[in-house]
Structure formats: C-alpha cells, structure tokens
C-alpha cells in the first residue's frame, strides 16, 4: 500500500538544491503504532528467520482431474486407477532425485494434480525445475482457519435458503456430497444426528485414532458419510523444525488415521459443517427431524438452526491437528477428487494468494473436473491484494464476509461524570443493577492494560469485587477478559475496542457468567474519566449491519489483478455447532463462517440443476448474487455481492463471464500513458424451455472515472441458446490517478428481466480493472563526477499522462536481471536530510519487475558501519502485521536490526505503492550508530520471497556519508506532462574520493513499474 493513514512526522526541508518540496519529503515519514525496540513475531531473515521450503514438483501428464475434465464426464474407478498408476511411474524418478539430494518426499498426487510434494533445501528448487519431465515447482501454502474470533437462524434466512427449500421444486441438498476440508467434525453432536451428549464426544475422543462408530460416521450414518484424518492430533505445519534437544520435531510429520473427529480449539470444522448441512438442534436439545420449508426456522426455537443444505451428505477431511496450521491442503483436495465429491468447502487460507500456488492449482483442477470448490477469502482486512489462497484459484468461488446481525443486546453506561456511553453486551449476560465502580487495569507505565494476564487480576483481586474491570483490545482472545475478570470477583468486564466500532458479539462464553461489555475506541476517554457507572439494558442497532466485516480480506488477486473475492455471505457472530457439547452452539466470526453458506448454496444449486455443467452452476451462484444488499458494496471486497440461494436454484439463465478464470469481467492491470479501451464478452446462456429477454445496463460502483458500455442493450435468448453481450471499458490516461492511492475502476453489468422472463430473476456480473496514470521520466546529467563542485541534470516528461515527481538519491548498488519476479533487484540508493536536530536517511530499492504488494517479500538493506566488510545493521522492509503480530496486514514497515545484539526496533512505514517496483525505507541515522564523527557506511541489498523462499542480492555495494554526502540528495522536482526542468546538484569532490556514488538514482513512483520508477544517471 501507499501510506498508512497514521501519525505523520513533519520534517522541514533542507535547502540542498533547486526545487525541494517540504510536504513531499515529510509525507514519506509515516509513524508506526509501535515505536522503538520490540520483540518481532516474525524473525527477519538477517536475524536467522525465514520460511521453510515445501514445494509441489508438478510432473508432465494429465492428472485424473484433468483427464475427467477432458472427457466431460466422471471416469469409472478402473480408468482412474490406470491413470494414477501411470502417473506414479512418471513421478518415481523425480521422487528418487529429491531423496538423493537431501530432500524429503511428503506425498505424491495423481488426482487433483500430478506432482510430488517435498521439503527440500532452498538451493535444490532451481535444480528440480530443470529435471526432465518437470512442468513447474510450486510453493505450498501454510494455512490457518479463517476465523476472526448471526446464528444459522439469522444467516441462513438472510441469504434466502428457506425459500429454496419450499414448494414442489424445493431442494435441501439430498444426495449431494460435500467435502469439508477443515479441522474435522464432531459426529456425536445432535446437529449431525449423533447422541448429542458431552459423554458421547468424550468416548469418541478416547478412541479417536480408531475407526469411528459406523452408526455415527460412514455410509450408514445419518449425516457424516465419510472422510479421513490426514494429519493426526499433534500435527502443526508451523512448529519449529527441531525440539530443544536438536531432534526432529514430530509435530511436522502427519500421522493419518481413518477418524476425523474434531479436536481443534473451539471446533472450527464442526462449526463450518453445521452451517453447510446441519440438521438443526431444537431448544430441547434434539436433532430436528421435521420438514424443511420457508416456515421451518420461524416455527421452532433452536439451540442451533439448520444449515443451508440440511439434507446434504458431509465428508470430513481433517487437515489440522488440535491446534496450529497445516500444509496438507493439496493432499485433501486430491482425496476429494479421488472420492468423487460434488462440493468442496475450504474455510482456510494464507494471505496474498496467487493463481499458481500448489493449493490454488489443485483447487482449480478439481473445479475443472466438475467439483464446485468454495473457499474463504481471508481475515486480513481490506488491504489490496491480501485476499488468500486457495480461494484465488481460477474457477474457485472465493467468499467474503458480511455482518447479518441487525442489533445486539447492549447497555447504556450512565457514567459518574454525567456522560453516557453505549456498549455492546457481547455475551448477552444479565446486567447487574445499581452503581458499579470502574477499575482500570493499567501497565507499569500507566497505560491501559490489554487484560490478558491472569496475574494482573490476581494482584488486585480485593479491589475488583462488584466492579467493572476495564481493559483494551489486543493480543489475546477477546473473551479472556470476561473469563479472568469473573474468576477474580468482578461484576463485569469492559473492553475498549481499537477501532471506532463495537467489538463482535460473542454469544455465550464458556467459563464466563459476568457481562462482557465492549465500547468503541471513541468512547475511551469518557470511560477512563469516570469512577463509576450504572448499566441500563438496551438494544443496540448494529452500525455494521449489511456491511462488509472489517476483517474480510480485500482483493484483487495478486499478480494479474483479477477480481477476487467472488461473492459475499454472512460471517459475523455466526451460531453453529459447538464441538463436544452434544447439543449446543457457539458463535464465531470470519470468512470461515461465510464460505460454508455458499458451499450450502452450491449443494442446493447442484441438486436443482442436475445436468448443468460446473461452469453453469458457478455462474448461477455468482450471477444471481445481489450487490444492492451490501450497503458498502465494493467489488474488490465482495465480488458480485450477497449470495442469494433461491434465485440461484430457480434461475434458468446464467451469465458466463471468463468461466474458466475468475468468473467475472476482469480487465487486469494497466499503466496508462494513453487512453485505455478494452473489451470483454458475457455469454448469456438460457437452459430453460422458454425465451428469455433482458435489458442490459452498466453501472459504475466505484474507483477512478471510467465509462462502461454494453452492446446490445437488450438481448432475447432462445431456449437452450446463447447470446453474447460485448462490454467495453474505457479510461482516459490522466483519469486513472497516481500512486498516492490504490486505483481501480469497477461496476456491474446488470441483466434485468423483461415481462417476467426467467421467472423475474435478474442477473449481474461485476467488471473490474486496476489502472494507474503514469508519468515517464527521462534524465541526463553533465558534470556529474568527482572533479567539479556541481552537476546539471536535465529532466523531461514528454510522454507522461500526469506530472513526474523526481526524487533524487545517490545511486550506490546494482543488480542484474535474473527472472526472479518482484525480488529481482535492479538498483539501490540513499538520501539524507535533517529535521528537528535529527539526521534521517531514506534508502530506495528498485526492482526490475512489478510487485502487486511489496508486503509479500522482505527487502533488507545491509549496512556496514565499521568498515570491516560485514554488515552491522539490517534495515528491512517487512509486512507490519507479520513482524509485530505474526499475520499479514498489507502495510510495509521498516525494521532496524542490530545484527550483533539481535535487537530490533521500528519507527516508520516504508513508502511502497501497490503495483510498483520501488520502496523507500526511512530510518534515523542514530539508529544505525551513525554520527558526524563516524558518518560513513557501505550498504548492499538482499530480497526474499516470503512464499517461495527464493532470494536475490545486489552484485555490489554502495558507500555514503550520512552527514556530508558526495552528491546532494533530496531534491524533489515536479515536471508537468510534456514539460522539462533543469536541476543543479551540488558535488563534494573531497567526499567523492571516499564514498563515490555510481551516479544519481532519480525515483519517480508514478512511472511504469520496473526501470521507469528509478532512472539511473551514471557519473561520467
């Protein structure tokens, strides 16, 4: 991203040369929330961190899925076995090579893809790619459940599922096989037809590696018809490679068994499965056995409401241990294809997904073979490109999360100061009466505590009785505050949120009986100023109702900028199956909870439209989604809009837009110095028996100014016929906008039925483009050498659509092109300036190729301050969320690491615009130990792809004096389109003799990605 909208440090300009703009200089210094030394959650590579390299080596030859796709029908078992056997023979030489060169073969696949999964030394990756018969070496994602923290009685009707259950043609998912790739399932729960007692779960857990009771699991079971545990209880893909004694960590070795009983924390897979296809559990704790129609949910009181497709069959494919992460998603997809699943749900993922990771390719291949593959978009927030894999695969339905809760139980705080504050009663507990004291938990420095440590409460327990304990959100699970406060005698717990919104509604909290109140960040000052309060019960209107969940991951997709996510579903405070309780439900939030709503709709749609192709089923689901039901609709956050079950099962007409790709009108990525004019086609296909007529319109929904037109404006499609609609997108070169913000253009192509066509069901397809206006900088210098005291630099912007902002650096290091994508280092430079008595440096790093987001990589400037040839410090550009909290946020921070002591500090965000190739890394000179008495240093750059483990480094090093540079830096010159400028640059011949630069590196962040963003002017 460009710049985080946090505190900005104002820096006065130093008058180094002709045209310096103070505002531009200060804007590159954006402060991080954490200031100074900290303990990294992710250890940067110069301090010994870095990812393990697990890959899938794809081998030539069609997998079973590819063969089935080519045949256009499901293959018989004998044909599948023959294909799998042939592929295993082809894989054998590759597997033997891996073992012979220090690698470990983890699995071999023949169904979802043809490949060998292995953990190998990084140096072996390139060698594997060159082996005979190898098609590609693909990274394997390490994924976690996409859970961030409405009952099925809210979410299921919110998407219209009961209407799909009703009538003569009502569907409920009968005979549809849904594979849930997740943490397993509690098949003893009443929601799945089990005994419905905690004792039954405990008995099953005591034998959870043995074959499960066939009355609860298997072909004769009421709901869970099959599945497998691919990993065992202890598995965790993120576990350390070795134990403290140096022996290999057994947690990294899967131990499969036939029993996928769920044991993961709160039972993530059981919760997901209940939303897809749970029978429902009545308030009496019994499995619901009645009919499913439009009146079902309203006619009962429920512990857990029915799932979207309550009569579908579930197959639990367990890929997680009892905690942690997994990297066996490809294995699970392979199993699902092998066992002829109709639908796959994956409520899991890893941030910054691409279409070509191993799990995305496997998911795409399964979809090609006819499986409807649904996956969660991720819980990393709205940052561009952060949406996750495997949902980023082509033909995979990626699901964003929406809040379907209209109101919450709440409380009005009547504070002792006379002020009133609204709070959510997040667990719906009964509020105590009378005046209650407020006790604010504080850290040693006086700041408000996170309230995560039991010892904090124990130390002040005598002061907590009858009071409300106040803390702030962060670090630990939210509900811990209620549990700990209640344990130590408090009357209630109150958490101040970190954003100006109420925290999520939690529902009943195990181990907590006191109210758990939550207030917005804007109420912080009022609460902290008061000594006591009264509590009055109230219903709090949910300000986020029918809007995107704040955690839902933003698109588009990495690299090609295709539109993902695909569609939206409820995902906030969803009540579904609670593992181990027998008959109870619990609330969870996340795109993990949204995805199963859509998987359930997929089961209904498959049942309703038997004989339709997988492409048509997906188009029915996406084409009938409703963007108008999302109040803050934005295409790159929520795709086509809110999924609609009834229209999906009843439509006879579907819009096919890039059906073998992202399934929408994705126009990709563009850098504009000329006007853009691109076209796409939507095929309107009528599978019904009657003519269908639609009016076709286009509606921009956001982004840069643009024009979208559809032709023709009315289509009349015959029964079983197809009619093409051409959609033309135009953007003026100067209208797209510069890199100050992420830039896109989006809207909807809407097909409105005429005279009741298609049963009155309308259709829509989103269109989407990422585009930037670009400036084209040219520069040449005279007198740039160590023998004169000044040089003249001529600048021009002859072909640009917008102004050039030329930022001057001393060029010090270079690299050579080597095909390593966004870590292929081209050049690095540095500038210096003073503000408020402090000296600052800014390092600029330029790559040969575009990155969608710099946050997927780590860029390290290695600084040698004592001249011994070894780096003393590393100035690293790393994702802020990753390095501070262990999960990606999309913001790139600058971390300074002392390589001798291991200490790490953080002060600034990097300036790294999306879809660029240049990063600017600001740092205080003092943080590198530089002073006027010891001002000189040398530097080089290395870069790492955090997903593949690949790396690159500059081929040489630069030298610089932080307090008296050989060539003046920091000039910031604006050149209008078709304009030019001349800049005089001061040169210090004496310093040049000691720290001679290669020349000038003039950064133009609004240039085209690659060379144009950093013009290199060599010294002559």
Instruction: List the beta bridge partners of residue 626.
Output: 642
d(CA 765, CA 627): 10
Q: Which position has the token pair 């269908």?
A: 692
CB 600 within 8 A of CB 574: no
For β-strands 653-656 and 676-686, DSSP reports them as: antiparallel
CA contacts within 13 A on the Cβ side of 525 = 1
Classify burial at 293, counting beta carbons within 10 Å of its beta carbon; exposed 0-12, middle 13-18, buried 19 or more: middle
Catalytic position from the list 182, 213, 927, 950 = 182
Quick check: is 148 catalytic?
A: no
**Residue 22: Cβ-neighbour burial (10 angstroms; 0-12, 13-18, 19+):** middle
Phi, psi (degrees; rounded to nearest 5) at 432: -70, 150
CB atoms within 10 A of CB 79: 14
User: What is the C-alpha separation between 495 and 880, in angstroms, rounded?
Assistant: 24
Burial of 701 (0-12, 13-18, 19+ CB in 10 A): middle
* Helix, strand or coil, per DSSP, at residue 592: helix
Side-chain-facing half-sphere of 497: CA atoms under 13 Å: 20
DSSP character string of 607-650: HHTTT--HHHHHHHHHHT-BGGGSTT--HHHHTT-B--HHHHHH
Residue of 922, 951, 265 lying closest to 592 (CA atoms)? 265
State the Cα–Cα distance between residues 347 and 602, nearest whole angstrom.
15
Task: Name the 3-class secondary structure at 831.
Answer: strand
- Cα–Cα distance for residue pair 543/2, rounded to 1 Å: 28
Q: Are 847 and 917 contacting, i.e. CB atoms less than 8 angstroms apart?
A: yes
Beta partners for 828? Answer: 813, 845
Active-site annotation holder among 97, 111, 268, 609: 268
Q: Alpha helices, DSSP H only, in 220-286?
A: 268-277
- Decide: 401 and 570 in contact? Cβ < 8 Å: yes
783 and 909 in contact (C-beta within 8 Å)?
no
Alpha-carbon span 217 to 223, nearest angstrom = 8
Other CB atoms closer than 10 Å to residue 999's CB: what's the count?
21
Cis peptide before 670 (omega within 30 of 0): no
188/196 Cα distance (integer angstroms): 6
Measured distance CA(2)–CA(770) in Å, rounded: 15
Distance from C-alpha of 490 to C-alpha of 705, rounded to nearest angstrom: 55
Q: Are 504 and 408 in contact (CB under 8 A)?
A: no
**Of 325, 592, 940, 951, which residue is the catalytic one?**
592
Q: Catalytic site residue 720?
A: no
Secondary structure letter of residue 473 according to DSSP: -
**How many whole angstroms separate alpha carbon 152 and alpha carbon 191?**
12
Rounded Cα–Cα distance for residues 186 and 271 (Å):
9
- How crowded is residue 925: how many other Cβ atoms within 10 Å of its Cβ? 19
Whether the CB-CB separation of 308 and 275 falls below 8 Å is answered with yes
Catalytic site includes residue 172: no
What's the Cα-to-Cα distance from 122 to each of 37, 102, 272, 283, 328, rounded to whole Å?
Answer: 31, 11, 36, 56, 20
Pick from 378, 385, 326, 417: which is nearest to 743 by CA? 385
Report the distance separating Cα 658 and Cα 681, nearest Å: 8
The size of the chain, in residues, is 1020
Question: Where in the sequence numbering do the catalytic residues fall?
Answer: 182, 268, 592
């Amino acid at each position: 991203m460009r710049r985080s909208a946090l505190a900005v440090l104002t820096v006065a300009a130093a008058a180094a040369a002709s045209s310096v703009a103070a505002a531009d200089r200060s804007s590159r210094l954006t402060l991080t929330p954490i200031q100074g030394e900290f303990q990294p959650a992710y250890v940067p590579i110069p301090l010994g961190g870095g990812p393990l390299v697990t890959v899938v080596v794809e081998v030539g030859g069609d997998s079973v899925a590819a063969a089935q796709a080519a045949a256009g029908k499901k293959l018989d078992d004998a044909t599948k076995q023959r294909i799998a056997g042939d592929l295993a023979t082809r894989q054998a030489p590759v597997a033997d090579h891996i073992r012979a060169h220090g690698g470990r073969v983890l699995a071999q696949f023949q169904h979802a893809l043809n490949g060998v999964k292995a953990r190998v030394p990084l140096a072996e990756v390139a060698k594997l790619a060159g082996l005979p018969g190898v098609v590609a070496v693909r990274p394997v994602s390490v994924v976690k459940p996409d859970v961030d923290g409405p009952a099925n009685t809210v979410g299921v009707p919110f998407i219209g599922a009961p209407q799909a259950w009703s009538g003569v043609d009502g569907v409920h998912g009968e005979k549809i096989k849904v594979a849930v790739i997740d943490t397993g399932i509690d098949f003893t729960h009443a929601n799945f037809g089990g005994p419905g007692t905690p004792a039954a779960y405990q008995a099953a857990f005591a034998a959870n590696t043995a074959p499960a009771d066939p009355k609860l699991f298997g072909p004769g079971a009421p709901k869970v018809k099959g599945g497998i545990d691919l990993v065992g209880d202890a598995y965790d893909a993120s576990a350390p490679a070795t134990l403290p004694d140096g022996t290999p960590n057994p947690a990294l070795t899967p131990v499969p068994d036939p029993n996928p009983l769920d044991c993961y924390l709160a039972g993530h897979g059981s919760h997901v499965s209940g939303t897809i296809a749970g029978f429902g559990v009545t308030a009496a704790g019994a499995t619901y056995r009645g009919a499913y129609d439009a009146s079902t949910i309203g006619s009962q009181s429920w512990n857990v409401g029915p799932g979207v497709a309550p009569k579908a069959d579930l197959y639990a494919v367990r890929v997680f241990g009892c905690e942690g992460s997994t990297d066996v998603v490809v294995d699970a997809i392979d199993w699902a294809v092998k066992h002829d699943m109709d639908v796959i749900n994956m409520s899991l993922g890893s941030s910054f997904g691409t279409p070509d990771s191993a799990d995305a390719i496997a998911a795409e291949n399964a979809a090609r073979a006819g499986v409807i593959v649904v996956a969660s978009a991720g819980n990393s927030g709205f940052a561009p490109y952060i949406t996750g894999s495997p949902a980023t695969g082509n033909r995979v339905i990626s699901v964003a999360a929406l809040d379907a809760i209209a109101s919450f139980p709440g409380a009005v705080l009547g504070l002792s100061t006379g002020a009133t504050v609204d709070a959510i009663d997040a667990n719906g507990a009964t509020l105590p009466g009378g005046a209650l004291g407020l006790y604010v938990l504080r850290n040693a420095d006086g700041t408000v505590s996170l309230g995560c440590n039991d010892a904090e409460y124990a130390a002040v327990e005598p002061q907590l009785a009858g009071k409300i304990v106040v803390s702030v959100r962060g670090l630990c699970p939210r509900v811990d505050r209620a549990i700990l406060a209640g344990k130590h005698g408090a009357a209630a717990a109150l958490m101040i949120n970190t954003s100006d919104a109420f925290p999520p509604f939690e529902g009943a909290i195990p181990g907590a009986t006191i109210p758990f109140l939550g207030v917005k960040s804007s109420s912080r000052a009022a609460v902290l100023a008061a000594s006591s309060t009264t509590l009055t019960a109230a219903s709090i209107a949910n300000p986020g109702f029918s809007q995107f969940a704040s955690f839902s991951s933003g698109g588009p997709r990495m690299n090609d900028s295709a539109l993902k996510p695909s569609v939206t579903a409820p995902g906030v405070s969803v009540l579904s199956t609670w593992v181990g309780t027998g008959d109870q439900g619990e609330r969870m939030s996340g795109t993990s909870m949204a995805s199963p709503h859509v998987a359930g709709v997929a089961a209904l749609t498959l049942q309703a439209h038997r004989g339709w192709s997988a492409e048509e089923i997906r188009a029915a689901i996406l084409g009938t989604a409703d963007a108008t039901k999302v109040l803050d609709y934005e295409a790159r956050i929520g795709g086509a809009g809110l999924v609609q079950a009834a229209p999906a099962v009843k439509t006879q007409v579907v819009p096919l837009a890039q059906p073998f790709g992202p399934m929408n009108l994705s126009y990709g990525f563009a850098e504009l110095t000329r006007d853009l004019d691109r076209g796409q086609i939507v095929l309107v296909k009528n599978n019904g028996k009657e003519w269908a007529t639609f009016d076709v319109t286009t509606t921009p929904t956001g982004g840069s100014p643009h024009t979208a037109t559809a032709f023709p404006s009315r289509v009349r499609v015959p029964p079983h016929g197809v009619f093409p609609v051409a959609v033309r997108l135009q953007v003026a070169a100067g209208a797209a906008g510069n890199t100050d913000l992420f830039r896109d253009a989006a809207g909807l192509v809407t097909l409105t039925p005429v005279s009741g066509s298609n049963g009155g069901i309308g259709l829509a397809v989103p269109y989407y483009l990422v585009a930037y206006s670009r400036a084209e900088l040219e520069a040449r210098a005279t007198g740039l050498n160590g023998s004169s005291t000044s040089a003249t630099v001529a600048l021009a912007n002859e072909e640009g659509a917008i102004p050039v902002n030329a930022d001057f650096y001393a060029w010090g290091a270079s690299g050579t092109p080597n095909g390593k994508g966004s870590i292929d280092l081209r050049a690095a430079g540095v500038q210096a300036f003073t503000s408020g008595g402090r000296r600052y440096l800014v390092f600029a790093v330029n790559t040969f190729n575009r990155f969608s987001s710099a946050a997927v990589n780590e860029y390290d400037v290695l600084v040698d301050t004592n001249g011994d040839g070894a780096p003393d410090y590393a100035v690293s550009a790393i994702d802020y969320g990753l390095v501070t909290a262990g999960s990606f946020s999309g913001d790139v921070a600058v971390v300074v690491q002392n390589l001798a002591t291991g200490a790490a500090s953080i002060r600034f965000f990097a300036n790294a615009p999306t879809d660029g190739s240049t990063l600017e890394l600001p740092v205080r000179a003092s943080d590198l130990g530089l002073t006027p008495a010891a001002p000189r240093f040398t530097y080089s750059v290395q870069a790492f792809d955090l997903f593949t483990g690949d790396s690159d480094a500059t081929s040489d090093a630069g030298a610089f004096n932080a307090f008296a540079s050989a060539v003046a830096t920091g000039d910031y010159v604006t050149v209008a389109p078709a304009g030019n400028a001349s800049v005089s640059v001061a040169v210090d011949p004496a310093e040049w003799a000691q720290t001679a630069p290669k020349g000038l590196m003039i950064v133009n962040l609004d240039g085209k990605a690659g060379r144009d963003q950093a013009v290199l002017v060599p010294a002559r």
